[in-house]
Structure 1
Amino acid sequence: EVERLIGLGKVAVNGKILDTPATLVTRDDVITVNGKPIGAAQATRVWRYHKPSGLVTSHNDPGGRPTVFDALPSSLPRVISVGRLDLNTEGLLILTNDGELSRALELPQTELVRQYRARARGRVSQLQLDSLKEGVTVDGIRYGPIEATLEKAKDTADTEGRGPANLWISVSITEGKNREVRKVLEHLGLTVNRLIRLAYGPFQLGTLPVGSVEEVGPRVIREMLAAHIRPENLPTGNTVSTPAPVPGRRTSAPIVKGASGSAMSDPSRKPSRTRAAEAASADGGDTGRRAPKGEGWAKAKPKFEHSKTFKPRERTAPARAEEGDRGERPKRAFTPRADQFIDKPRGAGGPRKPGGTSSKSFGDKPAFGSKPGGKPGGRPAGGGFGAKPGGSRPSGGGGRGGPRGGSR
C-alpha cells in the first residue's frame, strides 16, 4: 500500500515528493501523505488469534470470500498477520501493528518453530516420518528438516471398506512455505483432512477460544521479541488494555462486499426473531402470535395411549336385588367405634350473662380468707418462715444441720 501511494506521488518527506520507496528516514523527518503529516510511531503491539477454518488470511479476497480481518473485533486497530494460514487451516495466527516485526518473524533465518497437529487418512510408519528430519524435495521444491511424530494410528479398516481410519501426527517446521505440511504428508501417501497450528515461536495457542483475540503483554514482548523491534518502538509498562480474550465478529454468515469495498454482514442472515417479525409485518399479520398451522399438519400423537377403552364394572343381578337402586338406598346410622373418641354433642349454648365480662370485678386478690371445708386460712401468727420444731438434730453448730443465717 505504501509503495502504491509513493508511485502515485502522494508521499513526501520534509516537503519533497518521494519517487522511490528506497529512502532512509529518521524520527526527525516529517512525513506527509496527501499533505497530511502522519503521527509518531506507536509502540509495538502483538495479539494471538485463534483462526477458525474457512477464513482467508488476506485483507481483500478477489473471490469475495470472508477474510480473517473481516472477522476480527472492531475494537482492534489496523493490524497485519505474521505469515499466513490456508483457508481450511485453523489455529494460532499472530497479529501485530509493526510491519518490521512481522517481516522479521516470517524469515526462515529466525528459525522460529511452527508446531502443527495434523489429522490424516492413510497408513504411515514412524520410520517414514523420521526420514523427513533430513529434509525432502516435493515437486521440485526443497523443504528443510521436519520433525514428525505419529500420535495415534488405527491400522484396522473401517466397516465401509474405505481404507484405514484417521490418524494424528505432530509436525514441527521452521520455514513455513506455502502448504508445506500438507504437501509433505501427501508425499508420504496421506490425505490431510484437518490441520491445526498449535504454536508459533514462543507463542502458544493454549485454551484460546476459536475466533477470539488476546493481546500479548508488553513485558512478554520485551523479553521475547526485543531483538526484532526498534528500541524506540518497544512497549512500556506491564499491562494491556484488554487482558481477557475478546471474541471476534460472527463469521458463520458469508461476508458481502458493498459498493465501497467495505465488509458488511449479509442482510438475509438477520436473527431468526427479527426475520420472523419483518415477515409478519410485511404480511400484515400479528407479530405477537404464532401463525396458524396450514393444511397437512397432523395433530401430535400423545406419548402414551391405552389400546382399549375402560368402562366401570357393572353390578350383578343378585347385588342389585339385595342392595336396590343406589339412588333410593336409605342412609345408614352412624355408629362410633369403641376405640374412637367422640366428643359430646355441643348445643347451641345458653344466653350470656348480663353485662358480659364487664360485670366481673377486677382488683387485687383478697387477703387470706376462709377456705372451703372449714379449714383455717392464712398462715400462723408470727408469719414468715419461723423456727421449725426441733427434732433429734442438734440445734447448735455451724454445720449443715445448724440454723440458717448463722455465722460462717
Structure 2
Amino acid sequence: MSFDDADSEPGADSEPRPDSKPRADGEPGGVRLQKVLAAAGIGSRRACEQLIAEGKVSVDGRGVAELGARVDPGTAVVRVNGKRVNLRTDLVYLALNKPRGMVTAMSDPHGRPNVGDVVAHLPQRLFHVGRLDADTEGLLILTNDGEFAQRLAHPSYEVVKTYIAEVPGVVDRGLGARLRAGIELDDGPVQVDDFRVLDSSADRSLVQVSLHEGRNHIVRRMLDAVRYPVGKLVRVAVGPVRLHDQRPGTLRELTSAELGELFRQLQL
C-alpha cells in the first residue's frame, strides 16, 4: 500500500505496518469499565461512572448502565456518546509539527534531518501516515496502529487535510469557485473541499486550501496550474487534528476527542 499524501516526497518510504496485538488484561474477569475509561483520559473515575449511569457508554455495540461491568481493554470496543475510545495502551497516536527541511522518512542514508530522529527516544516502532516534502511544513500523524494508518491514508474515507499556502499577488475573486468546481491536471481532475483567502496584499496572499486528495504535490501542482505558484506551504490540519500553536519539531499525543472523531470518520 502507499502512504502518499497531498504534498509528498517521492522515494521516502513509510515503515511497514507492525502486527497489532492486544495487551494482556491484568485483572481476573476484566477491568471495571469506569477504571478503563478514566485510564483512557475520558475523565475522573466519578465522571466516568456518571457517564455509564446516564447510558452514554456502550461495549461491543451494547449499552451498559451497570457500574460493576468489566471489560478486556485489549479486545473490547467501547464508545462514549457514540465515539470510540482508545483503550489500547500499546498503541500510540502522535501529532508532529514537521519543520521545513526535515525529510519525511524514519531514516535517511544521506544524514538529513528526518522524522525518525524525533521519535528515536520512544520504545515503540512508529511510522508516519502520509508524507510532506522537505519544503513543506506542518502536521504529520505518527502511529503504530496499522489499520488506523491504512484507513487514514486512503482517500475513500475522505479525511480532509487543510493547508495554508503563500502565493504571489492578489488572488482572483473567482478562484475559489473554480477550484471547487475542479480543474484538470496531467494525471486527472482535482477539486478542493474548501478555499479561502486569509490575507492579501499587492505582493502576496495567504490562502487556505482543504481537500481529501492524496496525489503527490497536489496542492502545489493545483495552484501552479491556476498561475499561483506556492512559496511557503504548511499543513495545519488532518481531519479534527489541528496544529494550533504547536511548535515546529515537537510531538504531542492526540486527545481522546481528536482520536474519537478520527475513529468515527474511519469507521473503526
- Is TM > 0.5 for Structure 1 vs Structure 2? yes
Q: 1:203 to 1:152 in 2, by over 3 A?
A: same
CA distance in structure 2 between the aligned counterparts of 1:74 and 1:43, rounded to whole angstroms: 16
Distance (whole Å) between structure 2 residues aligned to residue 51 and residue 73 of structure 1: 15
Are the structure 2 counterparts of residues 91 and 220 from structure 1 closer, same or farther at C-alpha, using a change threshold of 3 Å? closer
Q: Does 1:120 align with 2:167?
A: yes
DSSP-derived class of the 2:91 partner: coil
TM-score under structure 1 normalisation? 0.41
Matched, 1:176 2:241: no
* Number of the residue aligned with 2:189: 142
Cα distance in 2 for residues equivalent to 1:170 and 1:227? 22
1:176, distance to aligned residue in structure 2 (A): 2.8
Letter in structure 1 aligned against 2:194:
E
Q: How big is each residue's C-alpha offset from its partner over 1:129-149, in whole Å with a ceiling of 9 and x where there is no partner?
A: 320102211223322334222
Q: State the aligned residue count.
A: 185
In the alignment, what sits opposite 2:127?
80
Identical residues among aligned pairs (%): 32
Flag structure 2 segments of 5+ consecutive residues without an equivalent.
1-19, 23-74, 76-87
CA distance in 1, matches of 2:257, 2:179: 37
Task: Please say which structure displays the higher CA radius of gyration.
Answer: 1
- Residue 102 (structure 1) shift: 0.6
Distance in 2, matches of 1:135 and 1:220, equals 30
1 or 2 for the larger relative contact order (CA 8 Å, sep ≥6)?
Answer: 2
* Secondary structure in structure 1 of the residue aligned to 2:178: helix
User: What amino acid maps onto 1:82 in structure 2?
Assistant: V
TM superposition shift of 1:58: 1.2
Determine the structure 1 residue equivalent to 2:226. Answer: 188
Provide the C-alpha distance between the structure 2 equivalents of 1:128 and 1:113, rounded to a whole number of angstroms: 20
Task: Identify if the C-alpha distance between structure 1 residues 26 and 224 changes in structure 2 by more than 3 Å, giving closer, same or farther.
Answer: closer
Query: What does residue 138 of structure 2 align with?
Result: 91
Map Cα deviations across residues 10-37 of structure 1 (whole Å, 9 max, x no partner): xxxxxxxxxxxxxxx998xxxxxxxxxx
Residue 56 of structure 1 contacts residue 87 of structure 1 at CA under 8 Å; is this kept in 2? yes
Shift of 1:109: 1.0
Unmatched 5+ stretches in structure 1: 1-24, 28-39, 156-164, 231-408
Q: How does 1:29-178 map to 2 (within 5 A)?
A: 43-72=90-119, 74-75=121-122, 77-155=124-202, 165-178=203-216
In 2, Cα distance between equivalents of 1:219 and 1:167: 33
**Alpha-carbon separation, structure 1, partners of 2:103 and 2:149:** 18
Distance in 1 between residues matched to 2:227 and 2:191, nearest whole Å: 19
Amino acid at match of 1:170: Q
3-state SS in 1 of match to 2:184 = strand
Q: What secondary structure is seen at the aligned counterpart in 2 of 1:70?
A: helix
Name whichever structure is richer in strand by fraction.
2
Looking at structure 2, the residues matched to 101 and 229 of structure 1 have their Cα atoms a distance apart, in angstroms, of 10
The one-letter code of the counterpart of 1:180 is: I
Matching residue of 2:241: 203
Distance in 1, Cα, partners of 2:144 & 2:138: 20
Distance 2:140 2:253 in 1: 12
